[in-house]
Homo-oligomer: A and B are copies of this chain.
Amino acid sequence: MNTSELLKGTLTTIILKLLADNGKMYGYEITQKVKELSGDKILVKEGSLYPALHKLLSDGLVEVETVNIGKRVRKYYYLTPQGQVRKQAQFKELQEFLQTMQHMLFPSLNPQMP
């Protein structure tokens, strides 16, 4: 097992969260932000990111705005209203999951389950 297995199911939520926080972001920017926020511990690969973004797009959770930077293309992604709703739901679910795992694995730190 390596961290990438643990990341499963969380990447989409991370993307939605970052877009919610920052308004709009482009792919490469997302990878760098995740790297920064995680203290270099989580490195999102292109082979994970772009398929995930395309899926969000086809699901109508994000929309894209293409910008030309010189001769280079940048695609800014931002949440749709549905995307914002979904973000809330997934964020909460992930939050609860993380807490449940904490309770299960380190019960000493969190004495009583609600």
Residues of chain A touching chain B, judged by Cβ–Cβ distance below 8 Å, are: 1, 3, 5-10, 12-14, 17, 34, 37-39, 41-42, 90-91, 93-98, 100-107, 113-114
CA distance A105 to B18 in the complex (A): 9
Return the chain B residue nearest A9 by Cβ.
B5
Copies in the complex: 2
For A17, list chain B residues within 8 Å (CB): 105
- A6, B3: Cβ atoms under 8 Å? no
Q: Are A38 and B104 in contact (CB under 8 A)?
A: yes
Given contacts A6-B9, A41-B97, A95-B105, 20 further A-B contacts (CB under 8 A): A1-B9, A1-B13, A1-B90, A1-B93, A3-B93, A3-B97, A5-B9, A6-B8, A7-B9, A8-B8, A8-B9, A37-B107, A39-B100, A39-B103, A39-B113, A39-B114, A94-B101, A95-B106, A98-B101, A98-B105
